[in-house]
Chains A and B, each alone.
Chain A
Amino acid sequence: MIIRWVSEDGKRKWIYPVKKDIYTKGKIIKQISTKAKVIGITKVNIPSPMHPITPYNVILLEDGYGNRMPKKTMKEYKINDVYEIKPAKTDSAVIIAKIKYDIYEYLKHSLKLLHNYNISSKDKILIKPSIIEPAYSYQAVATNSELLDALITYLRENNVRDIIVAEQAMLGNDTIESAAKSGILDVCKKHEIPFVDLSKSEYVEKTSDNFSFRIAKEVLERKLINMPVMKTNSQIVVSGAMENMLRVVDENTQKKMFEQDIEETLPKLIKILPNFLSIGDATIGMQANGPTLLGEPAFLNMLFLSKDPVALDSVFIEAGIFAKPNYIKEAALMGLGDSDTNNIEIIGDELEAIKYPLKAAEKNATAHTKIKLIDGKANPYIYNTALKMSAKLVGLLGQEINLVIGSLITKDMLQEKTRLVAYGKEAIEKLKPLGIKPVAEIPEEMDDIEKIMLLKSILQNPDKESITVIDKLKSKIASFGTKIKNKF
């Protein structure tokens, strides 16, 4: 797609979406074309960080207005060939769109390229963005509010009246505060659309492959549009189309899903949900230690769309050159979608042409270099609080601690690991039958300040082999002191 913003008198053209002609103060008209002629070709043999796979071609396209743009491609073209993106022919197709400034136009165009996807004015839509904690839009933790705005605008143009935006932050974070900080609440207000906190929803029990889920009623009653932020996840490699559905269930279900291995239960959840469209928000995207440690912005400037969440996640994983996680493989084995990118129909930008290595999340990283996680697929509450405790101790010197969390701990995972601290009921209980005695056990119900004080004491006392009554008392006093101080 080639877009130019043209002055009313046609004298000036911009590649940028300017709102008015700065010379005449007149209106701007969009010139859009989806068909162009190849007028130039170069084969590039020099790799660069954003374009590591060579050779690749850059073709120069010119549309009927005489507007031009370059396009990277792995395919071979000839001068005068016609370049046009044809709509998808399969339900597992993934649309990849590199955005050229105008999110709305690229979203609209991408939606039209989907196979058999129609929007009707009678549709009752539920848009499920990604909101997990209070963070600004630039941090790319939450769905880009501009993308949400574009989608709602498109739906409104198609006369869809009944739209809600629904999400729950979980992890102990306030949903409304998180939605407000990301700008999502403002978009809802602008379009007079209700924002529904799913944690306050009525839940419906559904069973899939012997696992019982409590799913928010709205999700089952409405046409669902999933809008995950494409980001790295230190527990399950990537938070994408599949992972974003984790927050349509209640908190207890979510905990249970982790306890029984999230890589097995997540596909079961996808199986029981009605079919949905996913619009993967990679307008920024996240790389490195995401999402709870907030990772790093990836600045991808892309959209990934698909009716098949397994295919969408598989394509993103391959684009960022990550290792494919088990839940994707499992979902494909269960027939929930296609995970083989050789079979998936890719529409728009080519997968090979967008590939470059993003920074993967480290499985055992915390914000404190001396506190490592040994994660037996802990539930997000435990995982998140473990990270938060560690973050509070950043800057303190000490000897390495291995914080053991989750129920799926094996002896292999603990081999040659010393100074173990078991955090949470699952880890505490798991270590006992393995015959391993940790330096300390921190139950999840312990007061937050007390937990941090205990962890600090272990970090700073290298010879400590176990926590004493005095340590516990000291932590309690510190916690009490802090509370009194905060009160006044």
Chain B
Amino acid sequence: MAYIKGAGMSKFDVSRDWSYERIYECVNEALDSGNTSLDDIDAIFVSSMEAESNGERQKHTAPMISSMLQKKLPILTVPAGCAGGGVALWNAIDFQKANNANNVLVIGFEKLVANISEKVTDEMLRGGERVYEQAEGMIFPAQNALVAQQYMMRYDVTSDDFALAALKNHENAFDNPKARFYKKKVTLDMIKNSPVVASPLRLFDCSIPCNGAAAVIISKEKTDIEISGSGISTNKLTAFEREDMTSWNSTINAAKLAYNQAGITAEDISIAEIHDAFTSVELISYEDLGFAKKGEGKELIRKGITKINGALPVNTSGGLKAKGHPISATGVSQIYELVLQLRKQAKKRQVDNIKYALAHNIGGAGCVTAVHILKKVM
């Protein structure tokens, strides 16, 4: 069994800070919060998409981390698109168990926004299939727009439902000092009247690209937070190849693995950080994670069930939508939020009576998914 010792996170923003500064900051916070020293770390798993447009020109990430943290350890890079953080954590847990390691550090970081928006868009487009998606202009909003459209047509979901998901996440981010949209008021009108990026998705249906880093330390030593479930799964690179575009099998499989490990069902989850790269993905994921039946995810948002004061608060951090989405940092930052919640350190965003917390991190349009379940044990 693996436990969480500490977690740290830099502010998610578009500042010019270099990656090493953010990494240093979040690792320091993770060590402090876990009352641990770097000397206690046995291995490091790090995830980054190694963006080429950010001016850092730094591809050899593992030795860079070695230089920065002054450690001669196994340091492994785990790129997995937007699921990089979650997949790195899964690998770290596997490594910790297999090697009976004392403590393993997981880092996700990205400096994504450091160039003109066309370059950033292109950087992300490279995660799509080369000849069917990249060559056909299927930037990520377009990929997800086509999925969202199928979902809307099949299950009578409306743009208003998506807008409610965006509003909820922005309301949560308003109180998260590390979120990109901290203290920035966003209204339903702003969301509904925002420009169309790729119809039917509007600007406020899309997560906000930004820069950031996050870190967690997992341990064999019992702490107050147990990682009771950890699952990953993959699926075809392109959503259009899948028989059902509106249900993402990688989420269903990863969640099943994590629930089985934890010995629980979706009903036992008290709080979740869901990969809302697009508002439509949040609704689809309610269903794929088992929180709602197929086609009924919209009811959770319409009835306010996933609001911070609802029965199942989702994305109390603000989610990718409003906390921000620095690709490989996202999955680790989800764990950071859940650690704050489980340790009752989330201040204005604090949710009470949490037993099980779920983190859901997707790469691509449902290509790879990591699901982790945390449990408060002390």
Binding site for B on A (CB under 8 A): 13, 15, 39-52, 56, 58, 60, 66, 68-72, 79, 98-101, 301, 353
Contacts and interface: CB of A to CB of B under 8 A. Distances in A.
Contacts of A72: 135-137
A69 B195 CA distance: 27
Contacts of A68: 240-241
The 6 A-B residue pairs whose C-beta atoms are closest, nearest first, are A42-B145, A51-B137, A72-B137, A48-B121, A68-B240, A72-B136
Contact of A48 (B122, B201, B241): B122
Interface in B172-220: 195-201
Interface residues of B, number: 34
B132 A41 contact: no
Contact of A70 (B117, B136, B195, B243): B136
B139 A43 contact: no
Contact of A44 (B129, B137, B149): B137
Nearest to A54: B137
Interface string B222-242: 000000000000000010110
Contacts of A99: 131
A45 B125 contact: no
B135 A98 contact: yes
B119 A58 contact: no
A60 B143 CA distance: 10
Contacts of A47: 118, 121
Contacts of A39: 150
B150 A40 contact: yes
B129 A42 contact: no
Contacts of B241: 13, 15, 68
A116 B201 CA distance: 45
Interface of B: 117-119, 121-122, 125, 129, 131-139, 141-142, 145-146, 149-150, 153, 195-201, 238, 240-241, 243
A50 B135 contact: yes
A48 B132 contact: no
A58 B199 contact: no
B363 to A, nearest CB: 19
14 contacts: A42-B145, A42-B146, A44-B141, A44-B198, A46-B197, A50-B122, A51-B139, A56-B137, A58-B136, A68-B241, A69-B136, A98-B135, A99-B131, A101-B131
B203 to A, nearest CB: 9
A242 B197 CA distance: 41
Nearest to B131: A100
A46 B133 CA distance: 15
B238 A15 contact: yes
Contacts of A66: 243
Contacts of A41: 149, 199
Given A42-B199, A43-B198, A45-B195, A58 B135 contact: no
A47 B137 CA distance: 9
A100 B131 CA distance: 6
A13 B131 CA distance: 17
A70 B133 contact: yes
A45 B139 contact: no
Nearest to B141: A46
A353 B137 CA distance: 9
Given A45-B195, A56-B137, A60-B240, A301 B131 contact: yes
A79 B145 CA distance: 14
Contacts of B238: 15
B197 A45 contact: yes
Given A44-B141, A51-B137, A71-B136, A60 B146 contact: yes
A49 B126 CA distance: 12
B118 A48 contact: yes
A69 B238 CA distance: 9
Contacts of B118: 47-49, 52
B112 to A, nearest CB: 14
A46 B132 contact: no
Contacts of B119: 49
B135 A301 contact: yes
A46 B240 contact: no
Contacts of B139: 44, 46, 48, 51
A49 B200 CA distance: 23
A58 B125 CA distance: 14
B121 A43 contact: no
A60 to B, nearest CB: 5
A99 B145 CA distance: 24
Contacts of B117: 46
A442 to B, nearest CB: 41
A50 B133 CA distance: 12
Nearest to A67: B241
A99 B132 CA distance: 9
A45 B240 contact: no
A56 B142 CA distance: 10
Q: Which of A15, A42, A48 has the most CB of B within 10 A?
A: A42
A45 B121 CA distance: 12
Contact of B138 (A13, A52, A58): A58
B98 to A, nearest CB: 28
A40 B146 contact: yes
Contacts of A69: 132, 136, 240
A100 B117 CA distance: 28
Contacts of B146: 40, 42, 58, 60, 70
B196 A48 contact: no
Contact of B199 (A43, A48, A71, A79): A43
A52 B139 CA distance: 12
Contacts of A45: 195-198
A98 B200 CA distance: 27
A98 B138 CA distance: 14
A50 B131 contact: no
Nearest to B148: A42
B52 to A, nearest CB: 12
Contacts of A51: 137, 139
B244 to A, nearest CB: 11
A101 B125 CA distance: 19
Nearest to A79: B153
B327 to A, nearest CB: 17
Nearest to B240: A68
Contacts of B138: 58, 70
B266 to A, nearest CB: 29
A334 to B, nearest CB: 36
B149 A46 contact: no
Given A46-B197, A99-B131, 12 more contacts: A40-B150, A42-B145, A42-B199, A44-B198, A45-B195, A45-B196, A46-B121, A47-B118, A48-B122, A49-B118, A58-B198, A71-B136
A42 B142 contact: yes
